[in-house]
Amino acid sequence: MYEVKIITRFAAAHNLKNFKGKCEALHGHNWKVEVSVVASTLDSAGVVVDFSEVKSAVREVLETIDHTYLNDHPFFKENNPSSENIARYIFGELSKSLENDRLKVASVSAWESEDACATYFREGS
Ligand SMILES: [Zn+2]
């Protein structure tokens, strides 16, 4: 398999329900988002996918949450806006916009600080 990765960032506010700790109060993070895309074959240009295609797909998803209060977003009204669920949300939206017969989103990691991240990845890969 081939894998390509892109890294980007977004900023947002959230507070976690049912969470015993500082994250229960309203606060913000500058999340770093790492997206991995895989394919078992390359396209006619010899690449998995044009990096700019991945970046613009990720940008479109992040525009829905960048500089927002995540708890107001429909997805996070049903799913606590933890880094785990942020990774799952981005993964799900990217799967719809980016995937085809050859190309799959393998994982999305949401880094909420320099040394802590949560990852959602395709089952069975
Ligand atoms: Zn937090």
pLDDT surpasses 60 at 125: no
Measure 16 CA to ligand 1 centroid, in angstroms.
7
d(CA 26, ligand 1 centre) in Å: 8
Fold of domain 2-121: Tetrahydropterin Synthase; Chain A (3.30.479)
State the pLDDT at residue 14.
96
Give me the mean pLDDT over the 60-79 stretch: 97
What is the reported pLDDT for 24?
A: 86
- Is the pLDDT assigned to residue 89 strictly greater than 70? yes
Q: Could you tell me the residue ranges of all domains in the chain?
A: 2-121
Residues sharing a CB contact under 8 Å with residue 63, sequence separation 6 or more, in sequence order = none
pLDDT band at 79 (very low <50, low <70, confident <90, very high): very high
pTM across the whole model: 0.95
**Does pLDDT of 41 surpass 60?**
yes
Helix H, strand E, coil C: the string for the chain is CEEEEEEEEEEEEECCCCCCCHHHCCEEEEEEEEEEEEECCCCCCCCCCCHHHHHHHHHHHHCCCCCCEHHHCHHHHHCCCCHHHHHHHHHHHHHHHHCCCCCEEEEEEEEEECCEEEEEECCCC
The yes-or-no verdict on residue 45 having pLDDT over 70 is yes
State the pairing for strand pair 2-14/116-121.
unpaired
Calculate mean pLDDT across residues 41-66. Answer: 97
Distance 108 CA to ligand 1 centre (A): 18
Distance 17 CA to ligand 1 centre (A): 11
